[in-house]
Structure 1
Amino acid sequence: MAEDAGIDTPTLAAEEGVRRRDFINIAAVSAAGVGGLATLYPLISQMSASEDVLALSSTEVDLSAIEPGQAIKAIFRKQPVFIRNLTPAEIAEADKVDVASLRDPQTLAERTQEGHENWLITMGVCTHLGCVPSGVAEGEVKGEFGGYFCPCHGSHYDVAARIRKGPAPLNLQVPEYEFLSDTVVKIG
């Protein structure tokens, strides 16, 4: 009967076969793609930071109890952070230093934020070999320039935490931070 209607039976079978083969190829590639994604997702997601690490990615500090001229030590990413409330006299002293004479030239304005020039926030890690400088607590040695002193190898930092004497190559690092209010700062 198919010959009477002018339809060649082998051609019809060949067209159906091609269509079936295309469907099988598309289904197989799709299944392989879904399987690949199902395999890769757990591998990639396990590389992201865990909740305890994300919790350490920033820290908030209340500045309301820090008097002018006083400094505190906080912890950020398991490292000490020095937060100092500079007095007008300390700001003037830092501003009168010839920046060109410094090993790592930076002004106090470059190390603080506009509108909060009295708040100096630095990492409490000496840039020489990673010791923790003194000069934060009352009675600690502040070095020849009234800032911080690293007892390990004798680096002296001024009130703006800039290296002035000793083997440290750079100023104390200023971390990324933002003021959430006049009395709260978020570090990180």
Structure 2
Amino acid sequence: MTDGEGVRRRDFINIAAVTFAGIGGVAVLYPLISQMAPSADVLAESSTEIDISSIQPGQAIKAVWRKQPVFIRNLTPVEIAEADKVPVDSLRDPQTLGERTKEGKKNWLITMGVCTHLGCVPLGAGEGETRGEFGGYFCPCHGSVYDTAARIRKGPAPKNLEVPEYSFNSDTVVKIG
């Protein structure tokens, strides 16, 4: 046996050992990592399409996305004007109505129906529900009041109602998620 052959055998054994260790590591880690992937029922709820053709100006509906309520409101020109005339720097969580809606669809306000204080469902999306003094939403749990753009105006809630990711598939169908 020459020195050259001994080095080659040692290199081969080292490469084989590292390769088998790598394969063993992948065999152990793959199940651990793949079990963290979302299940099929969660993936099925990752987005939802809602027909908004029946929502008249001034009306709102409650929908469900990811097992949480979503408010879809068709704002009237008066409600849009009221939201636009509020000085943004006077708001606790400063956002304009234009930042909370899609360009060209300023009348469609889509927000999560969960109060940012402690997670209650505010009133104001259903027919005849109290909308609070600013004409938006009112949380009966601790008295948070939101305006027509779903921005916090009064009460303990720290932030505006959250606007989820959404897009318009057509003039009558919105896809949330």
TM range (shorter): over 0.9
Cross-structure match for 1:109: 98
Deviation per residue, 1:16-58 (Å, 9 max, x gap)? 3333332222222212221221221111111111111122222
| Aligned mate of 1:84, from 73, 81, 86 | 73
Number of aligned residue pairs: 177
| Aligned mate of 1:32, from 10, 18, 21 | 21
Cross-structure match for 2:146: 157
Larger Rg: 1
Q: Give the superposition deviation at 1:122.
A: 0.7
Query: More displaced, 16-25 or 107-116?
Result: 16-25
Q: Give the superposition deviation at 1:177.
A: 1.3
Q: Aligned partner of 1:159: which letter?
A: T
Secondary structure of the 1:41 match is: helix
What is the rounded CA distance, in whole Å, between the counterparts of 1:14 and 1:106 in structure 2? 75
Q: Give the superposition deviation at 1:153.
A: 1.2
Secondary structure of the 1:15 match is: helix
Say yes or no: does 1:136 pair with 2:110.
no
What is the rounded CA distance, in whole Å, between the counterparts of 1:140 and 1:95 in structure 2? 24
What is the rounded CA distance, in whole Å, between the counterparts of 1:146 and 1:20 in structure 2? 81
| Aligned mate of 2:39, from 50, 55, 62 | 50
Secondary structure of the 1:84 match is: strand
What is the rounded CA distance, in whole Å, between the counterparts of 1:18 and 1:100 in structure 2? 74
Q: Aligned partner of 1:32: which letter?
A: A
What is the rounded CA distance, in whole Å, between the counterparts of 2:116 and 2:3 in structure 1? 76
Which consecutive unaligned segments of at least 5 residues does structure 1 have? Answer: 1-11
Q: 1:32 to 1:167 in 2, by over 3 A?
A: closer
Deviation per residue, 1:141-178 (Å, 9 max, x gap)? 11111111111111111111111222222211111211
* TM superposition score normalised by structure 2: 0.92
What is the rounded CA distance, in whole Å, between the counterparts of 1:22 and 1:100 in structure 2? 69
Say yes or no: does 1:65 pair with 2:27.
no
What is the rounded CA distance, in whole Å, between the counterparts of 2:143 and 2:10 in structure 1? 78
Deviation per residue, 1:115-142 (Å, 9 max, x gap)? 1101001111111111111011111111
What is the rounded CA distance, in whole Å, between the counterparts of 2:72 and 2:89 in structure 1? 25
Query: Structure 1 vs Structure 2: percent identity of aligned residues?
Result: 79
Cross-structure match for 2:157: 168
